[in-house]
Chains A and B, each alone.
Chain A
Amino acid sequence: MPLLAFLPLLLLQTASDTPPPTASRPPAGAPYAMPGEDAVDPYVANNANAGAIPFKGEAMAVAFHGQDGIRRIVDGFVTRNFADPVIGEIFQGHDQARLRRTLFEQFCYILNAGCAYTGRDMRSSHKDLGTQHADMNRLVENLQKAMAEEGVSFPAQNRFLAKLAPMRKDTVDR
């Protein structure tokens, strides 16, 4: 069981790191890959990997209709991206189950809707994808459509995008 083999390593790493604040700490012993996902190289799970400081208060979580709304948005977003005639190609061959989970965690964490982020940081998770600015813009449009479909107000959409916009330097590599 390769998953279990990573567990002691994870525990060791977490123990040796400066412990993050309790509220933002990922669940103890959370595996890198959940059942149904492909195995990934080990890394240290940390909320800082989400690449943005979460919103304060509940307003944004409410605007996105809580974890249920965020899950619907992420599902619509991922489905659109895989089916996209322009950027769909970039997603082919990537672990869709894992992407849905880690994106949900990231959005939920940033929107302060009660999640920890256990995925990799933005630079390593987008490494060598060969994405360009036009791809990022296309992705943003897909996210806008998914948020609009969920009925998130346009100002709230933009407030969220404001958290993601500074990530472009780490997610676009050519």
Chain B
Amino acid sequence: MTTRCLTLAPVMAALGLATAPAAAEPLRNGGKLLLTNGISSIEGASGGGLTPWATIAGNETRDGIGASAHATIVELKDYDYQSAGISVGLFDRVELSFARQDFNTNEIGGALGLGNDYAFGQDIFGAKVKLAGDLVYDAPLMPAIAVGVQYKKSRNDAVVRLLGATDDDGIDYYLSATKLFLSRSILVNATVRLTKANQNGLLGYGGDRNDDYSVQFEGSMAWQLSRRLAIGGEYRTKPNNLGVAKEDDWFDAFAAYAVNRHLTATVAYADLGSIATIDKQRGVLFSLQAAF
């Protein structure tokens, strides 16, 4: 255990993270409060269902290493979506994540000339660093603050370009501030994202209407009803880069339940608006997360 910690020490030092525990301390994994690791968002970063928060994946505190894995499905009016991913949390400070998304167009694919059950997919590599603050403890008005990057790579290079996207890959940058206001049992998150992604990247990056980064806002509010249960909603604004397929903002209303220390189940109603020319894509999201 100590050896592993020692080998990580230079990495942490290189990242400029002075708060890493002294190298002599043995690792101590686990120990987060229930639900304070968030759930895996569709892009793999820990947070709400649709948006990253300033939380770090895994059950570890600043004295250990944690990990989580998730699977999410969204059944929309005309499409099916699924994603799965894994994350590693280092000392409740650094999060590294990978997620693979698949978006099945069902019969719409045929109507669009792509073929029935044509699936858009992308891989997302994410990294997040908590810069300051704490989700629960310390100054009551000081949120946890984190910055993150997501490298996204479409697996439908030719098709997304045909739709008008400029690139088949792109990088999102975001800043999140998250706080659980214990006195009101309310969690608030605000995320600002710089992105060129169309439909979070499933339809490529940049487009004929706009090819520049734009600033998008993502907000979440959750009400903690018990140690194990929180309900809430999220809103996420999106760019509108493609001439052929307009995008709408996303929102959801969710309930997240900590079955135990290692398992969080989430169900949500999601309204993803117009996707690939078909309007009113509403449906139900289910997500399961295992964390250690």
The answer to whether A and B belong to the same complex is yes
1/0 contact trace for B43-68 toward A, CB 8 Å? 00000000000000000011110000
- Distance from A17 Cβ to chain B, minimum over Cβ atoms (Å): 28
- Distance from A76 Cβ to chain B, minimum over Cβ atoms (Å): 16
Interface check A133, CB cutoff 8 A: yes
Q: Decide: B136 and A133 in contact? CB cutoff 8 A.
A: no
Q: Decide: A162 and B30 in contact? CB cutoff 8 A.
A: no
Interface check B31, CB cutoff 8 A: yes
- What is the bound-complex CA distance between A74 and B28, given in angstroms? 28
Binds A, one of B152-160, B165-173, B224-232: B224-232
Known: A132-B28, A132-B63. A166 touches B185 (CB 8 A): no
Binds B, one of A22-30, A110-118, A152-160: A152-160
List which B153-194 residues lie within 8 A (CB) of chain A: 181-185
Q: CB < 8 Å: which of A140, A155, A174 contacts B33?
A: A140
Q: CB < 8 Å: which of B61, B183, B185 contacts A134?
A: B61
Q: Decide: B61 and A133 in contact? CB cutoff 8 A.
A: yes
A-B contact count (CB 8 A): 62
Q: Decide: A158 and B183 in contact? CB cutoff 8 A.
A: yes
Known: A154-B226, A159-B182, A161-B182. A134 touches B28 (CB 8 A): yes
Nearest residue in B to A159 (C-beta to C-beta)?
Answer: B183
- What is the bound-complex CA distance between A162 and B92, given in angstroms? 21
- Distance from B70 Cβ to chain A, minimum over Cβ atoms (Å): 22
1/0 contact trace for B86-100 toward A, CB 8 Å? 000000100000000
Q: How large is the interface on B (under 10, 10 to 19, 20 to 34, 35 or more residues)?
A: 20 to 34
Nearest residue in A to B60 (C-beta to C-beta)?
Answer: A134
- Distance from A34 Cβ to chain B, minimum over Cβ atoms (Å): 31
- What is the bound-complex CA distance between A141 and B36, given in angstroms? 13
Chain A residue contacts of B64, Cβ below 8 A: 134
Binds A, one of B112-120, B137-145, B202-210: B137-145
- What is the bound-complex CA distance between A6 and B217, given in angstroms? 61
Q: Decide: B62 and A162 in contact? CB cutoff 8 A.
A: no
Chain B residue contacts of A155, Cβ below 8 A: 185
List which A123-149 residues lie within 8 A (CB) of chain B: 132-138, 140-141, 144
Nearest residue in A to B229 (C-beta to C-beta)?
Answer: A154
Q: Decide: B140 and A137 in contact? CB cutoff 8 A.
A: no
Chain B residue contacts of A162, Cβ below 8 A: 140, 181-183
Known: A133-B61, A134-B61, A159-B183. A166 touches B139 (CB 8 A): yes
Q: Decide: A132 and B61 in contact? CB cutoff 8 A.
A: yes
Known: A132-B61, A134-B30, A158-B182. A166 touches B140 (CB 8 A): yes
Nearest residue in B to A145 (C-beta to C-beta)?
Answer: B227
1/0 contact trace for B116-153 toward A, CB 8 Å? 00000000000000000010111110000000000000
- Distance from B140 Cβ to chain A, minimum over Cβ atoms (Å): 6
Q: CB < 8 Å: which of A137, A141, A165 contacts B138?
A: A165
Known: A138-B31, A144-B227. A165 touches B140 (CB 8 A): yes
- Distance from A37 Cβ to chain B, minimum over Cβ atoms (Å): 30
Chain B residue contacts of A135, Cβ below 8 A: 31
Q: CB < 8 Å: which of A134, A154, A168 contacts B63?
A: A134
Interface check A169, CB cutoff 8 A: yes
Nearest residue in B to A161 (C-beta to C-beta)?
Answer: B182
Q: Decide: A165 and B182 in contact? CB cutoff 8 A.
A: yes
Nearest residue in B to A154 (C-beta to C-beta)?
Answer: B226
Q: Decide: A166 and B138 in contact? CB cutoff 8 A.
A: yes
- Distance from A31 Cβ to chain B, minimum over Cβ atoms (Å): 33
Interface check B25, CB cutoff 8 A: yes
Chain A residue contacts of B31, Cβ below 8 A: 132-135, 137-138
A-B contact pairs, 14 of them (CB 8 A): A132-B28, A132-B61, A134-B64, A136-B137, A137-B31, A140-B33, A141-B33, A141-B34, A141-B227, A144-B227, A154-B185, A154-B226, A166-B139, A174-B21
Residues of A within 8 A of B (CB): 132-138, 140-141, 144, 154-155, 158-159, 161-162, 165-166, 168-169, 174
Given contacts A133-B61, A169-B138, 4 further A-B contacts (CB under 8 A): A132-B28, A134-B30, A165-B137, A166-B139
